[in-house]
């Protein structure tokens, strides 16, 4: 983990820009505060509903138990609206206890309202992925969907994921990736840089936030490089699956 002195002079990517490390979290917070109420709707529009299939794939690979002698707990990081946590709880038949951790209070407010409406056993906690307020070995599983690319220090977040997992615990990260199908990559680029900011302006009233989100996808490490980061964090049996020609990738690892 970087010291305060190291962090003062450090820079990180923010889309296609380079910004001071200390500034990125504020900029990301502003993005998600702006789009919180329309975030899930925009996900549907931007992906043509495919994000639902990708998230279902995450839950299927996780395979949360439907029963057992002891409680089974999962933390979903950067999961503010509770989309993934809801899927996990429902797939487990209510056996799973889910905690959603997100740094953005507006996103959490949307999630709390939805969970209360449907009476789901989900706890919402305002927390930073780089410094989770939970003891070591607290959870059976850790999930993060389309969130880790927005974390200023990804290696620190991965170390925190390893720390809060119980021995034998599962790490799953769903993130946008690099398209690996000829011609689809050109179509995807054109759609991303022209259509998505246009949708952001008309649906969420914020083109710039969605322009950043598109740029952040292009700056994120490819599956092999990110898998190497997961391995360096201490995880074993690291693997990944590609979805929709590489538009998204699901990474898996175990704390053994």
Answer yes or no: is 189 within a domain: no
Answer yes or no: is 109 within a domain: yes
Q: Which long-range contacts (CB under 8 A, 24 or more apart) does 107-112 make?
A: 107/32, 107/36, 107/39, 107/80, 107/81, 108/80, 109/36, 110/36, 110/37, 110/39, 110/80, 110/81, 110/82, 111/79, 111/80, 111/81, 111/82, 111/85, 112/82
Answer yes or no: is 196 within a domain: no
The DSSP result for 46-87, as a single string, is HHTTHHHHHHHHHHHHH---S--SS-EEEEEET-TT-HHHHH
- CA 247 to CA 175: how far, in whole Å? 9
**Total count of domains within the chain:** 1
- CA 65 to CA 129: how far, in whole Å? 25
Q: What is the pLDDT of residues 222-255, one digit of tens each?
A: 999 999 999 999 999 999 999 999 999 999 999 9
Q: What is the pLDDT of residues 205-223, one digit of tens each?
A: 778 888 888 888 888 999 9
Percent of the chain with pLDDT over 70: 93
Answer yes or no: is 123 within a domain: yes
* Structural domain of 15: 4-181+208-254
Answer yes or no: is 193 within a domain: no
Helix, strand or coil, per DSSP, at residue 234: coil
- Work out whether the CA dihedral 158, 148, 144, 190 comes out positive or negative: negative
Please tell me the pTM assigned to this model: 0.86
40 vs 77, higher pLDDT: 77
Burial profile 198-222: b = 16 or more Cβ within 10 angstroms, e = fewer: ebbeebbebeebbbbbbbbbeebee
Answer yes or no: is 176 within a domain: yes
User: What is the overall mean pLDDT for the chain?
Assistant: 88
Query: Phi-psi region for residue 20, left (φ > 0), alpha (ψ -120 to 50) or beta?
Result: beta
Q: Identify the CATH number of the domain in which residue 56 sits.
A: 3.40.50.150
Residue length of the chain: 256
Q: What is the pLDDT of residues 8-36, one digit of tens each?
A: 568 887 777 777 877 777 777 776 666 66
The residue-averaged pLDDT of 97-113 equals 93
Answer yes or no: is 128 within a domain: yes
Answer yes or no: is 157 within a domain: yes
């Amino acid at each position: 983990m970087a010291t305060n002195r190291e962090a003062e002079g450090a820079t990180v990517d923010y889309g296609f820009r380079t910004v001071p490390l200390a500034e990125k979290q504020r900029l990301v917070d502003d993005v998600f505060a702006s789009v919180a109420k329309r975030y899930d709707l925009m996900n549907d529009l931007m992906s043509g509903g495919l994000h639902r299939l990708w998230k279902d794939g995450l839950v299927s690979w996780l395979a949360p138990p439907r029963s057992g002698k002891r409680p089974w707990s999962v933390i979903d990081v950067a999961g503010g609206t509770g989309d993934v946590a809801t899927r996990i709880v429902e797939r487990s038949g209510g056996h799973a206890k889910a905690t959603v951790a997100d740094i953005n209070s507006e996103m959490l407010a949307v999630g709390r309202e939805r969970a209360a409406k449907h009476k789901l056993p989900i706890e919402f906690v305002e927390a930073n992925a780089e410094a989770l307020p939970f003891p070591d070995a607290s959870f059976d599983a850790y999930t993060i969907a389309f969130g880790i690319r927005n974390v200023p220090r990804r290696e620190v977040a991965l170390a925190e994921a390893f720390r809060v997992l119980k021995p034998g615990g599962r790490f799953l990260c769903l993130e946008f990736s690099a398209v690996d199908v000829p011609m689809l990559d050109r179509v995807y680029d054109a759609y991303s840089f022209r259509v998505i900011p246009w949708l952001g302006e008309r649906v969420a009233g914020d083109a710039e936030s969605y322009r950043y989100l598109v740029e952040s996808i292009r700056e994120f490490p490819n599956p092999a490089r990110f898998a190497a980061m997961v391995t360096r964090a201490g995880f074993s049996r690291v693997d990944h699956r590609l979805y929709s020609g590489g538009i998204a990738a699901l990474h898996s690892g175990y704390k053994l």
